[in-house]
Amino acid sequence: LAEFDARYTQDGDGVHGARAMAAAIAVALAGADVDAVVNAALAQLPGGTEIARNAEHAVRLAREFADEPAGAFALVPVLEHQIVDHVYSYGIAAAETVPVALALTTAARGEIAQALPAAACLSRVADSAPALAGALTGAI
């Protein structure tokens, strides 16, 4: 259903991102933990796509930051430099926002009070990443 709806306005990474978020929310609403939720999203991202590469890299980084005292906020500068594209002029592309949301959900261990404001700190994706991170952590 997510793919069907997304195809009206999206293609490629936009459709993959919609499927990933739908899978993650469905698993979260069934009571899964953070890792299972994020893994459900990653499983929907076709290999070789920009969104899959970014998401796998972002989540790998987030798992390294999961025990940081500053939580998800410690990950913000890393995501800013390694995931968020500062050349491409359309900063709300799914290939950036979905990976950022998955990474911050992981680093925050599912805590909305960390993931959502940390997502808002990434100015290029601040109009979309907080909504996605909030949806994920809210469902968890």
Q: Residue 89 — pLDDT band, cuts 50, 70, 90?
A: low
Read off the pLDDT of each residue in 28-39 and give the average, rounded to a whole number.
98
Full 3-state SS string of 70-85:
CCHHHHHHHHHHHCCC
| 113 burial type by CB count under 10 A (0-12 exposed, 13-18 middle, 19+ buried) | exposed
Q: What is the pLDDT of residue 90?
A: 58
Top-confidence residue, 16 or 39: 39
Token duo for residue 114: 């960390």
Q: Which two tokens stand for residue 140?
A: 């968890």
Find, among 123, 85, 129, the residue nearest to 108 by Cα. Answer: 129
The token pair at 70 is: 């500053």
Segment 99-114 mean pLDDT: 96
pLDDT exceeds 50 at position 1: yes
* 65-85 pLDDT per residue, tens: 878 888 899 999 999 999 887
The predicted model scores a pTM of 0.89
Spatial separation of the C-alpha atoms in residues 30 and 25, rounded to whole Å = 9
